[in-house]
Amino acid sequence: MKVFTTLGTAVRTIHEGGIVVRFGVAIGMVAIATLVNLLAWPQGSDQDAHYFALVAAVLISALHGGLGPGLFATALATLSSSYFTLLPQFSLRVTAPGAAERLVVFIIEAVLLNLVAHVIRKHHKSTTPNVGLQRYLAIPLAVSAATVPKLVYPQLALELPFAFDYAAVFACAWIGGLAPGIAATALLAGITKFLFLEPIYSLSVVSQVETIRVGLFVGEGLLLVLLGDSHVRLKSFAAKVSTRARTYMGAALDKEMSNAAIRAVSRDTVWEWKLDTGEITRTPSWQDRISIALPTRESFESWVQRIHPDDRGATVTRIQQAIEEGREEFQYMYRLRAPSGTFLSVWDHAFIVRGGNWEVLRVIGRSSELPSSRVSET
């Protein structure tokens, strides 16, 4: 029984960690690449074009799942190429001249892509930007991944001496920033000239055509470095803006919730009367009867008309006396007509805001229904 419990715990741990999903993606990607190759070459083939789909499958698996699923996808892709595509088909033997060597090159290239993907994932998961020598970690991996295929396939180096170099430069700039991108550009320009451009094994440029080719690569490489470095800075800027926006939004929501809680607890309607315009604006409480009886905006004259006729004169006189006597705070009670025609007993607590010359600017107060309030007849 203990064994089954241990196995169940292990299975749950695997599922929670996403291991099954990551390796499942690797299997799915290689299966799709194999299907594409079978549709393109149903009778099998020794052409190198079938490696394109397998390389894409390995790269996606490594970027999604990490180093383990990427290497697992590399092994599956190797078996797929040997069994389903390379001649003789449906056999793990490879008999075509040079096919075994190209399969080994594919394995090396796939392993290098796994290492590059691992560096990219580690860079994205880090909470702080890479500093110091860590920024240059991707340079040897990217430069090797761009150079090895041309060493194995001299024809590729002859026709496309700068193949894969642009991707390597952009990857270094994307991961490490400006300085690693420039360093990768200079290193790849020197390696390509030394190994693949005439005269071989020399850094001297004797041909005008070769000079233009090297110059174009350096110029385009620096442009890619700027683009890659801008991507990093743009991502950092977007992260800061997003964090700041979430902070502001959280503060605004917290303030709104606090205001709503205060209104719910106090059950008072807060209002402001601007004497220059004569308009009264209110902040309603939590569904109290005063909030229902009064609109959020109305004129002072309209509010006076809502007061009970027996209380109207005394209430207006009370307000006028407080203003003329220079008081800052006063209170009064009155009966307020509700929309149904009934009256509520209301208590107002008001504060007078004055200017530099003691001129009244506005009156701020709160209205609350008296606990002993009873609905009376019209």
Question: How far lies 127's CA from each of 116, 172, 236, in Å?
Answer: 19, 19, 11
Which residue intervals of the chain bear CATH 3.30.450.20? 269-369
Token pair recorded at residue 200: 């071989």
Give the integer Cα–Cα distance in Å for 108 and 144.
Answer: 10
How confident is the prediction along the chain (378 residues), in pLDDT tens digits per residue?
Answer: 444 454 455 445 444 457 888 899 999 999 999 999 899 888 888 777 788 788 888 888 988 888 899 999 999 999 999 999 888 888 888 887 778 877 887 887 788 778 777 766 765 555 444 556 667 888 888 888 888 888 887 877 777 788 788 778 878 887 777 888 889 899 999 998 898 888 888 888 777 777 877 887 888 778 777 766 665 565 566 566 666 766 766 676 666 666 655 555 556 788 899 988 899 988 776 556 777 778 889 999 999 998 999 999 999 999 999 988 888 899 999 998 887 788 888 989 999 998 878 788 899 988 888 765 444 443
The closest alpha carbon to 269, from 291, 299, 298, belongs to 291
- Is 37 within 8 Å of 85 (Cβ atoms)? yes
Helix (H) or strand (E) holding 334: strand 329-337
Q: Per CATH, which fold does 269-369 belong to?
A: Beta-Lactamase (3.30.450)
Residue 253 is predicted with a pLDDT of: 66
Residue 14 is predicted with a pLDDT of: 41
Helix (H) or strand (E) holding 346: strand 343-354
Buried residues in 39-75 as b, exposed as e (16+ CB within 10 A): eebeebbbebebbebbbbbbbbbbbbbbbbbbbbbbe
- Is 105 within 8 Å of 153 (Cβ atoms)? yes
